[in-house]
Amino acid sequence: MNTSIQSRGKVVLFYPPYDGPPLGAPLSLLALAGTLREARFEVVLIDAAIQSRYLDRIAEECKSALCIGISVLTGPMIRGAIVAAQHVKRHAPHVTVIFGGWHPTLCPESTLREPYVDIVVRGQGEVTIVELAAALAAKHPLDLIAGISWKRDGRLIQNFDRRVQPIDTFAQPAFDLTDFDSYERVTGKRELAYATSVGCPYACNYCTDMVVYKRRFNAYDAGHVVAELTGLVQRYRITHVALLDSNFPVDLRRAIAITQGIVDSGVKFSWTFQASTDFICRMTQDEVQLLADSGVNYMGFGTESTSKTVLKMMNKRHQRVDEMYETARKASLAGIRVNFNLILGYPGETEADRLETFRTMSDIGNQFRNVRFSPNIFTPYPGIPIWPQLRELGVSEPQTLEDWENMPLGANLLPWLKSRELSRLNRMLEYFLLLNQARRRSSGDSFLKRLTTSLICNPIRWRLKASLFFFPWELWLSRFSEDIVKRRSLVTGAELPVESANVC
Ligand code: B12
Ligand code: SF4
């Protein structure tokens, strides 16, 4: 064998099971695999979404591995990460367990305190994982590796931060490691999760994007995106691309050049992205039509509220109500579906603010049939800038990794949403969703559904106007004819389990 291409060691990468419908291969781990392979490490990627006996596979692969890297988001995904890490400690104790991703980045100390976690990687992982794997392979000290937290003799050590690096300096994510057929079997779709950028210039108080990416939009140029994306679509017969960018059209010229490039390539696929409404409003109607012509069939917006006071408290002044209407209108003319995410129960929000949001959003839904809504009760995720205020308001912050896993993704954490107010809010919410769902009735629906619609729409409108929600007969009646869709993914618009909350 030619020693110049001999592997420097094996790195196992694991994506634990998560709530909700699977969304293609995890780009976080494909990105790490790209730079690791470039540095001549062998990579094995295990995604619980498609691998049924993943613990057995982890144990098997770890026998000959240097380390295992586990990607973790806050919430139920932590459970799978813990189980896998403990499994590795039992079956392959020589293997270093590395946790990375958003949760460990935001809570490095509480993550590292667990005996089954050896190292935490904070922030972007492409370069850090290579430096780590190289140090582990050569048994070198870890003191000079930026962006990690680790343990020496049981003591937690926090190395200095790694600066955010331009994404176009990294090797291409290892898309070829994706078993598209397996994902298709599980999801029924031939889908690619892809990012053209990271970071968002805004600083909403409930979002951690700025904590990690420091408000710097960091993107591939349009030519790179068009060539890579259309190439991948053709090579793997992809029919849908879900862009994972936090705010895709921040650089409008780039966004339009990408769109034009996709049209010019003649490669056909549908695609979706998340954005803030101000950027769509800055596009001309022709440009929004170009999005549709290139295959965009859905856009997700974190509109959150229509109360100016609440938007101000969220530090979200860029999200204007008139621009929500304008975005809905432009997308409607172009035939693009839109999802408006709403956050309810934000600290400082009054019932009047809530009602204003329900009424205005109902009006938008009434005028534009392409708009759907995904309302969530505010969830205090780790590291969000508003935490000092939350602590003052009596929200108790989970202290351990397991506490964060068990964090209810809902209202029970919020002292200002006590039981009566919470049930009133939930009832308003159901009315709001029912009204918007009922409006969408078409002649193809069952007689029972159409009958329910004709009976309930006006009374619900009256309730939202009068703010009276007692004796909810419309909700009881509707239960005979349908399930109300409560939550949708902001990334794809797909229905989500009821327990999930907030962004994304
Ligand atoms: C895609 C996505 C998902 C997908 C991921 C699955 C998939 N197959 O891709 C799914 C559907 C699982 C998901 C779910 C949720 N998500 Co989400 N999601 C995203 C999104 C849009 C993109 C993530 C991504 O892939 N980026 C591209 C890659 C390249 O970047 P990355 O993931 O950050 O990975 C880099 C680093 O983090 C690091 N890294 C990551 N993993 C690892 C592992 C190791 C070992 C190392 C060394 C480094 C490392 O290196 C990578 C390369 O630089 C982000 C927003 C965003 N724009 O980033 C939100 C985001 C990550 N999600 C978020 C939230 C809130 C959620 C939910 C809690 C929402 C909900 N209530 O349902 C759930 C949690 C699910 C659960 N616990 O069960 C928050 C983060 C919250 C948090 N504290 O974890 C984000 C940041 C959105 C936001 N702005 O608030 N999400
Ligand atoms: S919520 Fe959306 S607009 Fe606000 S900072 Fe996060 S990604 Fe940007």
Q: Residue 49: which CATH number?
A: 3.40.50.280
Please tell me if the CB atom of residue 206 comes closer than 6 angstroms to any atom of ligand 1.
no
Q: Are residues 197 and 121 in the same domain?
A: no
Helix (H), strand (E) counts: the chain: 20, 15
The residues with which 410 forms a beta bridge, in sequence order, are none
Query: What is the C-alpha separation between 467 and 485, in angstroms, rounded?
Result: 22
- Ligand 2 atom showing the smallest separation from residue 246 Cα: 7
Q: Are residues 91 and 222 in the same domain?
A: no
Please tell me if the CB atom of residue 249 comes closer than 6 angstroms to any atom of ligand 2.
no
- Whether 156 maps to a domain, the answer reads no
Residue type, 45: L
Q: Are residues 112 and 205 in the same domain?
A: no
Q: Are residues 470 and 357 in the same domain?
A: yes
Do residues 117 and 87 touch, judged by C-beta distance below 8 A?
A: no
pLDDT in tens, the chain (504 residues): 444 568 999 999 999 999 888 889 999 999 999 999 999 999 999 999 999 899 999 999 999 999 999 999 999 899 999 999 999 999 999 999 999 999 999 999 999 999 999 999 999 999 999 999 999 999 999 999 999 999 999 899 999 999 999 999 999 999 999 999 999 999 999 999 999 999 999 999 999 999 999 999 999 999 999 999 999 999 999 999 999 999 999 999 999 999 999 999 999 999 999 999 999 999 999 999 999 999 999 999 999 999 999 999 999 999 999 999 999 999 999 999 999 999 999 999 999 999 999 999 999 999 999 999 999 899 999 999 999 999 999 998 899 999 998 877 665 678 888 888 888 998 998 899 888 888 776 667 777 777 777 788 888 888 988 888 888 888 888 776 666 666 677 777 777 665 544 433
Q: Are residues 271 and 336 in the same domain?
A: yes
Mutate to test the pocket of ligand 1, among 169, 499, 504 (most ligand atoms within 8 A of CB): 504
Q: What CATH number is attached to the domain comprising 420? A: 3.80.30.20
Please tell me if the CB atom of residue 304 comes closer than 6 angstroms to any atom of ligand 2.
no
Query: What is the C-alpha separation between 353 and 425, in angstroms, rounded?
Result: 12
Residue 445: its pLDDT value, please? 74
Distance (angstroms) between ligand 2 centre and the Cα of 154 equals 37
What tokens were used for 399? 């202290």
What tokens were used for 382? 């780790």
Question: Which residues constitute the domain of residue 194?
Answer: 189-378+414-478
- Whether 172 maps to a domain, the answer reads no
- Whether 392 maps to a domain, the answer reads no
- Whether 183 maps to a domain, the answer reads no
Query: Residue 90's CB: how many other CB atoms inside 10 A?
Result: 10
Q: What angle do CA 158, 64, 142 make, to 5 degrees?
A: 20
Q: Are residues 224 and 105 in the same domain?
A: no
- Whether 245 maps to a domain, the answer reads yes
Residue type, 470: F
Q: Are residues 276 and 357 in the same domain?
A: yes
Burial class (CB in 10 A: 0-12, 13-18, 19+), 93: exposed
Domain count, the chain: 2
Please tell me if the CB atom of residue 209 comes closer than 6 angstroms to any atom of ligand 2.
yes
Query: What is the C-alpha separation between 340 and 323, in angstroms, rounded?
Result: 12
Q: Are residues 453 and 320 in the same domain?
A: yes
Q: Are residues 76 and 209 in the same domain?
A: no
Residue 412: its pLDDT value, please? 66
Domain end call among 150, 174, 202: 150
Residue 504: its pLDDT value, please? 34
Query: What is the C-alpha separation between 501 and 504, in angstroms, rounded?
Result: 9
- Whether 179 maps to a domain, the answer reads no
The residue whose CA is least distant from atom 66 of ligand 1 is: 504
- Whether 384 maps to a domain, the answer reads no
Domain end call among 102, 121, 150: 150
Shortest CA distance to 22 belongs to which of 178, 174, 183, 177? Answer: 183
Do residues 144 and 196 touch, judged by C-beta distance below 8 A?
A: no
